[in-house]
Amino acid sequence: MFHHVTVLLEEAVNGLKVKPDGIYVDCTLGGAGHSELIASRLGEGGRLIAFDQDESAIEHARGRLAPYMDRVTLIRSNFRHLEEKLLETGVPTHEGVPQVDGILFDLGVSSPQLDEAERGFGYRHDAPLDMRMDRASGLTAADIVNGWDEREIADILDRYGEERFARRIAKAIVEARKRRPIATTGELAELVKEAIPAAARRTGGHPARRSFQALRIAVNDELGAEEDALHQAVACLKPGGRVAVITFHSLEDRICKQIFAKYVQSCTCPPDFPMCVCGASSTLRLVNRKPIEPGAEEIAANPRARSAKLRIAEKLPPGP
């Protein structure tokens, strides 16, 4: 059963300003909550193109979106191939670049992936150490844990998990795998727990949470995919089109904030130049200066929404 509680549903879709005859892209189909609401606001001339690399999400969406499939195209692909796949769908182009009216990202891992023990994302159930969002891809968490060197593992835990005991955990992993390969999430969670000082285990939730997050991000190259896709999204928006991005941790949000800032910034001349000579103009304007966050009612109903942040930007007409 693919059950996913959609976060910031109304806020994100309202932020896109859906037009009945527009073309919209949901880069993270997941449980299809955002897609369903977008599709319900489209008329016969409108179109929704939805991406997911997880086959189970695609199959679930076929049922949930059944009333709207005359205007929906489902694509099984990582959203880092956004521009390429949009070209394949035949959307209008400008100078060879596809042009759409709105693009939505709901980043991170979906609830069904976390809750299905056999996917190997969670530390609360013992399962094969996998963590692939696309089960047809090659690299697994077990490959990293059993094959990468100690420094590489520590770097992943530090960079993607912001784990202050990254070196201790990496050393414990390498020592343990000398005896036998680390094959399950339960084995890894126990190793991480034992590597962290007892006093530090008493706060901040499950001691393996940050390490599992880091491995998941590395296995799926989530931050690299986000960066690639956001640049493509800006290029693929029509003037007046909007991009809405929901993030769930600081690394994702930082990338989104920095990329938006790059396109909002206009003049690139050194500050001591008496006049602008670069001729640059802003590509985006921020719709909300500060990120939109879930209210107390949504957090109470869905605690996983607590860390969510929504940023929205609008494509500006080209400068003179």
For residue 12, the number of C-alpha atoms closer than 13 Å in the C-beta half-sphere is 30
Sheet holding 284-286, edge to edge: 72-76, 47-52, 23-26, 100-106, 237-247, 309-315, 284-286
CB atoms within 10 A of CB 5: 15
Please check whether residue 27 is in contact with residue 82, taking contact to mean a CB–CB distance below 8 angstroms.
yes
* Residue 292 DSSP label: B
Rounded to an integer, what distance in angstroms lies between the CA atom of residue 3 and that of residue 63? 13
For residue 162, the number of C-alpha atoms closer than 13 Å in the C-beta half-sphere is 5
Q: Binding-site residues, please?
A: 32-34, 52, 79, 106, 113
Contacts 24+ apart (CB under 8 A), 41-48: 41/13, 42/18, 42/68, 42/71, 44/70, 44/71, 45/20, 45/21, 46/18, 46/19, 46/20, 46/21, 46/22, 46/71, 47/22, 47/23, 47/71, 47/72, 47/73, 47/91, 48/23, 48/24, 48/72, 48/73
Q: Binding-site residues for S-adenosyl-L-methionine, please?
A: 32-34, 52, 79, 106, 113
Q: Which of 216, 217, 178, 176 is nearest to 193 (CA)?
A: 176
First and final CA of the chain: distance in angstroms? 53
Sequence-distant (≥ 6) Cβ neighbours of residue 45 within 8 angstroms = 20, 21
